[in-house]
């Protein structure tokens, strides 16, 4: 009997699975937009509030630190009350504080708003990733992981386009909220645009179903009677059977975050310092990342597995660092941007799947949420450290390159401290 060929992978995903995917993808895209827009206006912020590079970098650091609060809170909510509610609340939260950031009248006020923004940013990932991946078939989880994480890079592209085309319309308008001579309104408008993601919540509320895996677990708990041990708790992550998973996943994601912020946070400033318009380079970097993380995610479903794909991508990123930074040729820098996106940023294609597969259903919100955002908290020092290195006399490019090499090697090593997870079941009864 002749077997009929399987349909293309994207036709093996039904409408509700795609809706769950796009709820998380679009939330993460808009989250990425609201965060990365800051990287284009650091110079404006420094001029408006008369702060040095280290304090400008600290705005990224405090946002990443407070992601841990959001990741823990929304992750615990996602395990207790379902994935959809904390996803919607997180999107509303980060949209609000992105908008309010544009009204800051001092560095201290902006610092506080960016900290509060980080809570919603962390919550979106912790609730959204399990919602999407628990809907999708096991055999397609790698490609879903890569495409989902690619939402961040689409957000970065969107912020670059907005900076190039919207910012100039307001960069000559005097800033009525600043007493600094020559301060303009452009950077505030960039933050005000960040309120738009709140509209996505209306569609998620009515158009997306709750995770079938989470619903099945609730059904089973009702059948047997929910004991105290069945209830989700952060403390569950530190019991003997899960503590090493928690530690290793957190260390790995710390290295991931160290790598990403070494590559990206000061990158527009590096380009502006060379007298280059960042748009083309940022689009090349993020376009390379969108393609790279999808391809690496797909590759992780084969013989490379999650660990092999992460390792190869990270080492290729280290090798491509000179192409990315150590030249004055505009053409070579453009190629380097695409290559670094596809490799150094390509490691993220496996992150959602790997973390989701490491933890059982009972803690699949709070477990990945803690690991991902504890990693973000540790990695949050990267923008500040890079700023300090520059204040100490290092060029932006040399500071970035040193950190890219160190972090890439850490990623390639730490992934092997845990098991291969490709093909692990996400059933409601899995290793609970």
3-state DSSP of 66-127:
HHHHHHHHHHHHHHHHCCHHHHHHHHHHHHHHHHHHCCCCCHHHHHHHHHHHHHHHHHHHHH
**Nearest Cα residue to 70 out of 28, 113, 123:** 123
Residue 342 pLDDT: 94
CB atoms within 10 A of CB 425: 12
Residue 2 pLDDT: 43
Residue 432 pLDDT: 46
Burial grade of 206 (CB within 10 A; 0-12, 13-18, 19 or more): exposed
**Residue 183 CB contacts under 8 Å (≥ 6 apart), including other chains:** 44, 47, 48, 174, 175
Residue 225 pLDDT: 64
C-beta separation of 320 from 346 below 8 A: no
For residues 134 and 213, give the distance between their C-alpha atoms in angstroms, rounded to a whole number.
6
- In a 3-state reduction of DSSP, which class is residue 5? coil
* CATH architecture of the region 14-205+234-417: Up-down Bundle (1.20)
Residue 55 pLDDT: 85
Q: What are the b/e assignments for 210-220, b being 16+ CB within 10 Å?
A: bbebbeebeee
H or E stretch including 409? helix 396-414
**Residue 108 CB contacts under 8 Å (≥ 6 apart), including other chains:** none
Residue 141 pLDDT: 79
Instruction: Locate 299 and state its tokens.
Output: 């590759």
User: How do the pLDDT tens digits run along the chain, 432 residues long?
Assistant: 444 446 776 778 888 889 989 998 888 888 889 888 888 888 888 888 888 877 887 888 888 888 888 888 888 888 888 889 999 999 999 999 999 999 999 999 999 999 999 999 888 888 888 888 888 887 787 788 888 888 888 888 898 889 889 999 998 888 888 777 777 888 999 999 988 888 888 888 888 888 888 888 778 777 766 554 445 567 788 888 889 999 999 999 999 999 998 998 888 888 988 888 888 898 899 899 989 988 888 888 888 989 999 999 999 999 999 999 977 788 899 999 999 999 999 898 888 888 888 888 778 778 888 888 888 888 878 888 888 888 888 888 899 999 999 999 999 999 999 888 887 776 645 544
Residue 372 pLDDT: 84
Instruction: Locate 271 and state its tokens.
Output: 């380009």
Residue 6 pLDDT: 62
**Nearest Cα residue to 368 out of 265, 232, 263:** 232
Residue 431 pLDDT: 46
Model confidence, pTM: 0.78
C-beta separation of 297 from 145 below 8 A: yes
Residue 230 pLDDT: 47
Tell the residue number behind the tokens 């900076």, with chain if given: 163
Please count the CA atoms within 13 angstroms of the CA of 412 that sit on its side-chain side.
17
For residues 191 and 188, give the distance between their C-alpha atoms in angstroms, rounded to a whole number.
5
For residues 298 and 186, give the distance between their C-alpha atoms in angstroms, rounded to a whole number.
40
């Amino acid at each position: 009997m002749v077997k009929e060929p399987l349909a293309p992978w994207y036709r093996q995903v039904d409408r509700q699975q795609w809706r769950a995917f796009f709820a998380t993808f679009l939330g993460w895209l808009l989250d990425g937009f609201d965060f990365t827009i800051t990287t284009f206006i650091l110079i404006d912020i420094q001029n408006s509030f008369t702060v040095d590079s280290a304090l400008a970098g600290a705005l990224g650091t405090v946002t990443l630190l407070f992601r841990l609060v959001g990741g823990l809170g929304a992750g615990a909510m996602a395990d207790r009350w379902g994935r959809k509610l904390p996803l919607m609340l997180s999107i509303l939260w980060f949209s609000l504080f992105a908008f309010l950031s544009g009204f800051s009248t001092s560095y201290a006020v902006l610092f506080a708003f960016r900290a509060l923004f980080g809570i919603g940013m962390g919550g979106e990932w912790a609730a959204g990733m399990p919602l999407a991946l628990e809907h999708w078939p096991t055999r397609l989880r790698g490609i879903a992981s890569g495409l989902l994480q690619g939402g961040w890079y689409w957000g970065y592209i969107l912020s670059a386009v907005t900076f190039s085309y919207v910012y100039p319309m307001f960069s000559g308008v005097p800033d009525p909220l600043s007493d600094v001579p020559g301060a303009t309104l452009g950077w505030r408008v960039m933050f005000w645009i960040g309120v738009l993601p709140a509209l996505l919540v209306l569609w998620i509320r009515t158009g997306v179903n709750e995770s079938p895996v989470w619903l099945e677990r609730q059904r089973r708990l009702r059948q047997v009677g929910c004991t105290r041990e069945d209830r989700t708790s952060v403390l569950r992550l530190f019991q003997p059977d899960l503590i090493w998973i928690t530690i290793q996943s957190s260390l790995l994601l710390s290295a991931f975050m160290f790598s990403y912020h070494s590559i990206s946070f000061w990158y527009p400033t590096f380009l502006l310092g060379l007298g280059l318009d960042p748009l083309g380079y940022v689009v090349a970097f993020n376009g390379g990342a969108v393609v790279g993380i999808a391809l690496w995610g797909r590759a992780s479903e084969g013989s490379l597995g999650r660990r092999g794909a992460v390792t190869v991508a990270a080492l290729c990123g280290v090798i491509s660092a000179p192409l990315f930074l150590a030249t004055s040729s505009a053409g070579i820098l453009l190629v380097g941007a695409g290559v670094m996106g596809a490799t150094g940023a390509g490691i993220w294609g496996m992150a959602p799947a790997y973390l989701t597969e490491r933890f059982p259903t009972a803690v699949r919100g709070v477990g990945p949420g803690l690991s991902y955002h504890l990693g973000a908290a540790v990695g949050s020092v990267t923008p500040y450290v890079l700023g300090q290195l520059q204040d100490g006399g290092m060029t932006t490019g040399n500071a970035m390159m040193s950190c890219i090499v160190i972090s890439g090697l850490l990623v390639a090593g730490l992934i092997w401290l845990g098991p291969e997870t490709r093909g692990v079941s996400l059933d409601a009864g899995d290793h609970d």
